[in-house]
Amino acid sequence: MSEVVKFLSDAGTFYVATVDGDKPKVRPFGIAIEHESKIYFVTGNQKEVYKQLQINPNFEVSATSKDGRWIRLKGKAVFENNIEVKKKAFEILPVLASLYNTPENPIFEVFYISKGEASIYSFTDAPKTLEV
């Protein structure tokens, strides 16, 4: 698990893909949090990504490392009101305070990946697959 979070954190920006009707939608994210053996992401419940994941919780994440490797992470989004994760998100990414003021803001949401699978690829090594 921590290998996936480290990969995403080191990448800085990673991309989350959802489905909007029958069209794919991709947007940048910048924080992945490991907590109690789960990988969490954050968003706001007024954003399209939140609405899309409520309708269809399947999503994929992709990022490229500075050394040319890339990751694909897929699974289902599970939203929960986890104040510990929300507080941790504010510690890791202080700019969240300018968007949501406090971790208790009812607009601020966290979700973890369930039934996840990550594959790490490179041009020189065989792909590595991890369950998350």
- The 10s digit of each residue's pLDDT in 23-58 is 999 999 999 999 999 999 999 999 999 999 999 999
- DSSP letter at 102 equals S
Asked if residue 94 lies in contact with residue 33, where contact means CB atoms within 8 angstroms, the answer is no
pLDDT(60) > 90: yes
CA distance 129 to 17: 19
Read off the pTM. 0.95
**3-class DSSP state of 93:** coil
Q: What is the mean pLDDT of residues 67-92?
A: 97
Residues 6+ apart with CB under 8 A from 112: 35, 38, 39, 40, 41, 77, 78, 80
pLDDT(1) > 70: no
Tokens 């706001």 -> residue: 44
pLDDT level of residue 125 (50, 70, 90 thresholds): very high
Q: Which fold has domain 2-131?
A: Pnp Oxidase; Chain A (2.30.110)
